[in-house]
Amino acid sequence: MSRRYFIAGNWKMNKTAAEAKALIAEINALVGAETAVDVAVCPTFTALDAASQALKGSNVKLGAQNMYFEKSGAFTGEISADMLKEFGTEYVILGHSERREYFKECDCLINKKVKAVLANGMKPILCVGETLEQREGGKTIDVVSEQTVGGLKDVSKEDAEKVVVAYEPVWAIGTGKTATPEMAQEVHAEIRKVLAKLFGADTAEKIQILYGGSMKPENADALLKEKDIDGGLIGGAALKADSFAALVKSAKKLA
């Protein structure tokens, strides 16, 4: 496969700065020298400084979990691109289902954030995924396609190569329920078709599409073997160095 595997840890609202430093030290010891697979950790904003220092000399990259699209100003509680870049942040998770659900983020807002991340030389990890109700109603492909098109509206072909898409079925996040490899592959292939329509087949072939939703060492091999699954966005299993490193190793076996 020409695309590199990518394993990214979404730490959500977990780990203080001191805990982040300790976890990164363990991750570095296990996979800090990894070159065959892209690896990133996405701690909370308050741990970015400590994390960036702990990642010096490591091949593990730094990501954030959100960003506001404006450059600066009266946006109480928000974080700008410059603030993230100060710590060497390379990736920003956007449109996670928890932000869509609890913070009412819509495709239109997510799209502004995607474009701001790209304009600032970082890479967005755009999350898309259906709820259980939408899956049971046969709407999975429509929902995921609409979120992909909406999130990437007005993104240039050149910038599209820097985008990472994460397919995260909402019903599989933090629930222990995983989409079967076949179910995930079907959606990943559809997402790649949407990307091909938006940016052309060549560009679509270059875009990493990650699976997220209770991915763990026990189910990773089967998921990662699928043609259009290029890695994982990992929640729970990213909070322990040994399980996170095991996922990186699963990807490395196939790289």
CB of 10 to ligand PEP, least distance (A): 4
Nearer to ligand PEP, 10 or 28 (CB): 10
Helix (H, G, I), strand (E, B) or coil at 222: helix
Applying CB under 6 A, the span of 45-53, 137-145, 199-207, 213-221 interacting with ligand PEP comes to: 213-221
Unique residue bearing structure tokens 């909070």: 239
188/18 Cα distance (integer angstroms):
37
234/202 Cα distance (integer angstroms):
27
Any idea what the Cα angle at residue 134 is, between residues 168 and 178, rounded to 5°? 35
Amino acid at the residue 236 = G
CB of 233 to ligand PEP, least distance (A): 5
Residues 4-43, one symbol each (x = binds ligand PEP by CB under 6 A, - = not), give: ------x---------------------------------
Nearer to ligand PEP, 95 or 235 (CB): 235
Residue 40 phi/psi, 5-degree rounding, is: -145, 150
- Considering only residues 174 to 193 of the shown chain, the ones binding ligand PEP according to CB under 6 A are 174
Nearer to ligand PEP, 130 or 159 (CB): 130
CB of 13 to ligand PEP, least distance (A): 11
Per-residue exposure over 180-219, b if at least 16 CB sit within 10 Å of its own CB, e if not: ebeebbebbebbbbbbeebbeeebbeebbbbbbbbbbeeb
Unique residue bearing structure tokens 């699976």: 211
Nearer to ligand PEP, 80 or 163 (CB): 163
Q: How many residues bind ligand PEP (CB under 6 A)?
A: 13
Applying CB under 6 A, the span of 39-47, 140-148, 167-175, 243-251 interacting with ligand PEP comes to: 167-175
Applying CB under 6 A, the span of 29-37, 46-54, 107-115, 207-215 interacting with ligand PEP comes to: 207-215
Any idea what the Cα angle at residue 3 is, between residues 251 and 39, rounded to 5°? 45
Q: What is the largest CA-CA distance in the chain?
A: 48
CB 153 within 8 A of CB 126: no
- Considering only residues 226 to 245 of the shown chain, the ones binding ligand PEP according to CB under 6 A are 233-237
Residue nearest to ligand PEP (CB): 235
Which residues are annotated as catalytic? 96, 168
Residues that bind ligand PEP (CB under 6 A): 10, 168, 173-174, 212-215, 233-237
